Structure 1
Amino acid sequence: MLRTVIQAAAVTANLNNLLQAEARKLGLDAIGVARIAPNDQQTTRLAQFLEQGRHGDMDWMESNADRRGDPRRLWPEAKSAIMVGQSYAPGSNPLDELKVRERGLVSVYAKGRDYHDVLKSKIKSLARAFAAASGADVKVFVDTAPLMEKPLAAKAGLGWQGKHTNLVSREHGSWLFLGAILTTADLEPNAAEVDHCGSCQRCLDVCPTKAFPAPYQLDARRCLAYLSIEHKGHIAPEFRVPMGNRVFGCDDCLAICPWNKFASAASELRFAARAETDNPPIAEFLALDDVSFRQRFAGTPVKRTGRNRIVRNALIAAGNSGDASLMPLITPLLDDASPLVRAMAVWAARRLLKEADVKALRQHHEPRERDGDVSAEWTRNLEGCAA
């Protein structure tokens, strides 16, 4: 009996060593193992988050809520979760770029190749090597299933969920992409990481829209990352000025974290910023039509948001820039097919022009036969309260 236990322990240790070695070969930055079990605390927190409507219009979170608290609902035979992390740490501080008002900011994670493609390819290779050595079944996930990856990563020792609700690593700061391999193998788990936030709350204080009702709680409806990427409707007037020159996402709460001082710039070259996504001039966003948008952002996370929402955001950035020289690009958007774009074109024009010039624009560009009461649409837009 004792011999059997010792042999089983040796096999498990060998498999864990194999995972570490393969992860290094693939250039992954962090790996750990967690046993799969229900997480009652996270399930309760998720239920409260949804009951309070803090998920906004991300209906997919609500439709799969019953499966998120327990990975066994995804796969009853799974016993272990192999959690991996890949750094995407930038070489400079994104907060510094908020001062360059003529440029439209793109979140660090979206400046290079779509991480879903890069990370999933690596994890599939890791999973194949592990399955061949262990004989166990495996399933790979990279933000593609109702799996609560951050709590699992914390349980596997990759970091802890900070007060901004994102994972924080002592080695990589707030800049880790996460992926998971669920397996039927019963592996020795790593020790869970403890919370090292202490009394610091810089991530809460820096948020321009006060999206954190309390430490470790997020109201997505006030989050500029959610509003600029996920939200499909008009962005409420109260959030437009705080958006500044952000066009896709917001990195403030991540970038301010003091643990980032230990993070080296990401070694994965495919995450490096491209010229077309590295905070290009706002003018370039305003000039995008559907074809040029798809061509410019092919293979990046920006493409999934779509042209209309990106131009909506760029118009808000234009309105906040104080640069009236952008008006020749804004004016044609007053007649855009998208009501999102038309509304923000009016808002931007009102921010950049004198009242007499805005009235002149209305005379030439107010739509005459569109969507019923067109005059009411223009008035709503002019008042900055398109809803």
Structure 2
Amino acid sequence: MWADTVRSGQGTPGEVFAAFLKLGVTSFGGPIAHLGYYRDELVVRRKWLSESAYGDLVALCQFLPGPASSQVGFALGMMRAGWLGALAAFVAFTLPSALLMVIFALVAVNLSGPVAMGVLHGLKIVAVAVVAQAVMGMAKNLCPDKERAAIAVSAVAVLAVLPTAFGMVGAIMLGAVLGLLLGRGSGNTSGGAIFSVVSRPIAIAALGCWLGLLVVLPLIAGQSAGLSLFDGFYRAGSLVFGGGHVVLPLLQAETVEQGWVTEHQFLAGYGAAQALPGPLFTFAAYLGAVKSGEPNGIFGAVLALAAIFAPGYLVLVGTLPFWDRFRTMARAQSLMQGANAAVVGILGAALYSPVFTGGIHDLKDLALGLLCFVLLTAWMKPPWMVVIVAALGGILLEVA
């Protein structure tokens, strides 16, 4: 049982903060890599929980919408030191990359000259390679058969007709329905039980809050610019399935299409985020900081960051007490398999526009993008190293 495999409540918020701050400044490589860092530090070295308990927690967070690695960290902090431990884990893991993204946002607006422009152009090019790698990996894992590959293509078709945030919601809903009709879920119950420290009343309240905000925020968003910003980022955070890179098309729809940031700013920030440790969701802090019009700057960054992380944590808290029963339902697994296949299509559409169309303008750009892709996939170089190569390549292209 979970209670037997987790040393729940035996730590302090300070201990949790120190452990996750270390992870926040050293965890490069994206959400899958983050889960490996967690395992090495908290399961193997510190022995906060067993391998089976950790595996079951990871399975839950990958099933839910939101940033999986950050959700795992939040849950581990809660189990170790209660609600304050959960807050400590979130702040410590998120703060380093969020601060760096805000600094980049404040500095980038003042950059000029061929070298600076070359760096920004290189960041847009490396985004093409990173997203292409993500699409390839997700397609292999989430579309392993012809039916789910067809669902991914249907999602692209939906976005071709309706290229908005509503189109993305429709594509995910269509994928979920098609997945339910396919009925590929097995209801597998392998792994240990998750014995939650969250009570059912708190869980129900969290789910109600998540759904209530998702419904109410669009209705009241027009009352202030701050509510409008919170609504956009909250909706993006509520619809992210399948990994951190999936947030790219959702944020593009909520920011670029709204005229809050330019496509140039968006792609440069996304490229810079690849060189940083910690969660990719801190890209939201950059977007909130560079946003045209109030709120922006530090306040805009904090508001955007809170909005994009909130739904994932509310859903996690709301699901913990019910996960053992829910995961035995084959229909639930079928529904999620279809939704995840649609997500692959959504990210594939984003790879074309705005990523490829915004970053690749001629054969020289394409050559640099292909070099970055090969370094990531064939040479297995870490993203931060490839970002440096792209920045230097962008400078050469600009001054040549």
TM over 0.5: no
Higher strand share: 1
TM-score, structure 2 normalization? 0.25
- TM-score, normalised to structure 1's length? 0.26
Higher relative contact order (Cα pairs below 8 Å, separated by 6+ residues): 2
**Which structure shows the higher helix fraction?**
2
